[in-house]
Amino acid sequence: MREDTRFVLPRAVVSASAAAWGLVGGQLFAGLVLAALLQLPALLRWRLELEPAHYYRAADLTSVGFAAFAIYEFNGRGLLGIYGILAGIPLSVAPLVLLAGYSEQQAIPASALALSIRRRVLAGTAPEIWLDPGPAFVALCLLAASGGKLPAPWFDLLAAAILCALLVAARPRGTSFPPWGTALVCAGALGLSTAAGLVRLHAGLEDALQSWFTAHWYVPDFDRATTSIGRLGRLKLSDAVRLRVRTTRPLTAPLLIAEASYQTFRLGTWSTEARRYEAVDAEPGGGAWRLAPAAPGPAETLEIDLPQTREVGMLPLPLGTRRLVSDQIIEIRRNAIGAVQAEAAPGQVRFRVETGAAVGGPPPQAADLVVPEEYAAALRTVGAEIGLQGLAPQSALAVIRRFFAERFRYSLVQRGFFPGRLPLSAFLLQDRHGHCEYFASATVLLLRHAGIPARYAVGYGVDEYSRLEAAYVARARHAHAWALAWVDGRWMPIDTTPALWYALESDAAGATQWVSDLWSWAEFRLARLRLAIEALDARILLGLAAALVLVLAWRLRGQIRARRDAAPPALAANLPDAALRPLFAALAARGLTPQPGETVGAFLGRLLPARSTAGELRRLVALYYRNRFRAGGLPEKEHAELVALAADYVRAAPGTTLRTVR
């Protein structure tokens, strides 16, 4: 191999990479053993004398083993098996790398890796090429380590260390440290900022795609809510503004605005059987709907702006909504468990709600007490742990709140695999950390286990005030889930998610959030302006249009008059020869003028006599041009001939045969 076209890594770097992979990827023992085996040849004095056939067998064995491993992973985990394969790549290729380490050549032949190359090498039509597997193995270890559990800062350090080692080995001869070091530092800084941006970009793209998909393709199913329960990794939602809420008084606590509630939980999805929506009669005069009977007590008024992408959408309402007023909503429909749909033109929909003490919806149904069979054991364990049995509803509520508050923590990250695919059981019994969907779902099930009817509600937690919007805003990442419990004859929101969640979500705001907020505000203002224009009285619009037309007419008035006053240029007056003036004047009087750029001959030939007199016409044109361009004009005799011919044409009507003059 040429000196310049390969780079050699120290054996220690290769071994360290294997150990790092083992440490990060949860394969510590395997990683350490592999590292030791890779480092051992440095201490040994002997080497194996290997033939290419030995490498071929090792490569074939490795290929078969890898294929079997891949099948095992895909079979067990479906498409997610790709991550298992990623984690196990270093072990898969270890046989070949070890063989190279213990061989005399310290390399593997390229023919061992590809059958086509092997065939040619064996036939003698291609030379053997030896490859050092060290750098490739280090790269694979690094890639495999990226699928491990190491948190970001530590992974960054690990990746930086291994990449540094690779780049040190690849440093060109003669390159001094300052430029190389500077380049490395710049690359690292750029990489870190890119990594942060990628996360935001991914969330933004997901959100945008989802919105586009929802707007153009997806027909939402209002009767089910698919949760992220059981989904691994970090839950990420975007900063896009979803709701704008204006209140009469500042909020002292996060306001829960519910879109819908559900009763049945199965395989990570909450659903309801109450699929039938009944229209709610509007109040006389239209534009207002009463959703709950008026009750004594203070009332609160909220104004909510909601972007509606379809004609029919769920209406997020605070618990205790009694009355709804909107001039954009055409119809309100409600189902048996109180979820509200609104029919309105797509766009920014504004409505006003009056809230106060209310029942909060129809009474519970049988489904509000059902506990899924698969979670019964876990609920019994927890119930026994906290002494839930036999408690009065209010006491049970307090115990459940205290249970979650004291023993659970909020987290957006889920790692590890859930045995038997029961993530809520793992949440309740083992992990005890999760996001709002975990808390809400577990609370609902625990309440039901305690005999309290409960539902799962989804919506938004509103607490952020935007000075730009002059309103409270609910972003996509403020989407929230909580439990509703039927206690003392009314539905109560039971939010057991640690209050810390809101602060954590706010901390996750990106540095460029202000840009997207500005854009969102501009879009919102434009939408409102369009609505305002559309809402204007047609007479006013007509009046404005008429005024514009009058102004335009007044401005154009002078120009039109100027045009009409200007007479068309007198063609005859422009002719240099007076002999043809009467002829052209006569033709002009009949409305016949030459076209722009038309010669005298073409004009006359077009208009005047028939073919039999073409000779006179040519004579006339010739005399005309000779008179025009000849110094001193025509001689007297020819000038007289020109005048006579022109006079004859004056007498002749267009299209008639000319009388012979001579």
Partner 1 sequence: MSEAPRPGLQRRFRAFHAVQRLSTAGSRRFTAAGRLLALLFLGAAIFGADPRETQAYRLAAFLAGCFVVAAVGVRRTRPRVLVRRELPALVTAHEAAGYYLCVTNTGAATAHALLLHDELASAPTAPLAAARSATDGGADNWFDRRVGFLRWLAALRRARGAALEPVVVPTLRPGATLRLFVPITPLRRGRLEFAAVVVAQSEPLGLLRGLVRLPLAEALVAVPRRHPVPALPGVADPRLHGAQRLVRSTGSGEEFFGLRDYRPGDPERHLHWRSFAKRGSPVVKQFADRFRDRITVVVDCHQPVADETTFEALLAVAGSIATRPRAADCELEVLVAGESTSALRAGAGLGLLATLACLESVRHDTHQAIAARLTRDAVGACFVVTSTWDASRAPTYGRLAARVPGLRVLLVGAPVTAAPATWLVAIDPAQVAAGLTHLAGAPDARAA
Residue whose CB is less far from partner 1, 136 or 359: 136
Helices (H), 174-311: 177-216
430 DSSP assignment:
I
- 208 belongs to the binding site for partner 1 (CB under 8 A): no
- 202 belongs to the binding site for partner 1 (CB under 8 A): yes
Specify whether the backbone of 94 is left (phi greater than 0), alpha (psi in -120 to 50) or beta: alpha
Helices (H), 25-129: 28-39, 52-77, 81-102, 115-123
Q: How far is the CB of 144 from partner 1 (least distance, A)?
A: 10
- 108 belongs to the binding site for partner 1 (CB under 8 A): no
Residue whose CB is less far from partner 1, 65 or 84: 84
Residue whose CB is less far from partner 1, 199 or 531: 199
Q: How far is the CB of 410 from partner 1 (least distance, A)?
A: 17
Residues between 116 and 145 that touch partner 1 (CB under 8 A) = 116, 119-120, 123, 135-136, 139, 142-143
Between CA 412 and CA 232 the distance in angstroms is 10
Residue whose CB is less far from partner 1, 64 or 198: 198
The sign one gets for the Cα dihedral 441, 442, 447, 451 is positive
Q: How far is the CB of 164 from partner 1 (least distance, A)?
A: 10
Residue whose CB is less far from partner 1, 79 or 532: 79
Between CA 464 and CA 130 the distance in angstroms is 63
Hey, is 422 helix, strand or coil? coil
- 372 belongs to the binding site for partner 1 (CB under 8 A): no
The sign one gets for the Cα dihedral 73, 74, 78, 80 is positive
Q: How far is the CB of 103 from partner 1 (least distance, A)?
A: 21
Q: Please, which residues have CB within 8 angstroms of residue 279's CB and are 6 or more apart in sequence?
A: 331, 332, 333
Q: How far is the CB of 170 from partner 1 (least distance, A)?
A: 3
If we measure between CA atoms, which residue out of 597, 613, 596, 599 comes closest to residue 654?
A: 613
- 79 belongs to the binding site for partner 1 (CB under 8 A): no
Q: How far is the CB of 95 from partner 1 (least distance, A)?
A: 21
- Contact at 8 Å (CB) between 283 and 221? no
Q: Show the 3-state SS of 468-528.
A: CCCEEEEEHHHEEEEEEEEECCEEEEECCCCCHHHHHHHHCCCCCHHHHHHHHHHHHHHHH
* Contact with partner 1 (CB under 8 A) among 23, 30, 37, 82: 82
Q: How far is the CB of 175 from partner 1 (least distance, A)?
A: 5
- 509 belongs to the binding site for partner 1 (CB under 8 A): no
Which residues on adjacent β-strands are paired with residue 351? Answer: 304
Q: How far is the CB of 247 from partner 1 (least distance, A)?
A: 35
Residue whose CB is less far from partner 1, 231 or 606: 231
Site string for partner 1, 28-67 (x = CB under 8 A): ----------------------------------------
Site string for partner 1, 227-266 (x = CB under 8 A): ----xxxxxx------------------------------
Residue whose CB is less far from partner 1, 232 or 571: 232
Between CA 153 and CA 159 the distance in angstroms is 10
- 199 belongs to the binding site for partner 1 (CB under 8 A): yes
Q: How far is the CB of 136 from partner 1 (least distance, A)?
A: 6
Residue whose CB is less far from partner 1, 146 or 513: 146
Per rule CB under 8 A, count of chain residues that contact partner 1? 61
Residue whose CB is less far from partner 1, 191 or 347: 191
* Contact with partner 1 (CB under 8 A) among 19, 150, 245, 483: 150
Residue whose CB is less far from partner 1, 144 or 621: 144
Residues between 158 and 197 that touch partner 1 (CB under 8 A) = 159-160, 163, 166-167, 169-175, 179-180, 182-184, 186-192, 194-195
- 86 belongs to the binding site for partner 1 (CB under 8 A): yes
Residue whose CB is less far from partner 1, 36 or 187: 187
Number of other residues whose CB lies within 10 A of the CB of residue 136: 15
Residue whose CB is less far from partner 1, 143 or 359: 143
569 DSSP assignment:
P
Residue whose CB is less far from partner 1, 141 or 444: 141
The Cα diameter of the chain in Å comes to 139
Between CA 653 and CA 102 the distance in angstroms is 116
418 DSSP assignment:
-
Number of other residues whose CB lies within 10 A of the CB of residue 240: 19
- 155 belongs to the binding site for partner 1 (CB under 8 A): yes
Question: CB-side exposure of 369: number of CA atoms within 13 Å?
Answer: 10
- 4 belongs to the binding site for partner 1 (CB under 8 A): yes
If we measure between CA atoms, which residue out of 436, 416, 439 comes closest to residue 505?
A: 436
- 115 belongs to the binding site for partner 1 (CB under 8 A): yes
Nearest 10 degrees: Cα torsion 347, 351, 355, 361: -50
- Contact at 8 Å (CB) between 388 and 446? yes
282 DSSP assignment:
B
**Residue ranges in contact with partner 1 by CB under 8 A:** 2-7, 82-83, 86, 115-116, 119-120, 123, 135-136, 139, 142-143, 146-148, 150, 152, 155-156, 159-160, 163, 166-167, 169-175, 179-180, 182-184, 186-192, 194-195, 198-199, 202, 231-236
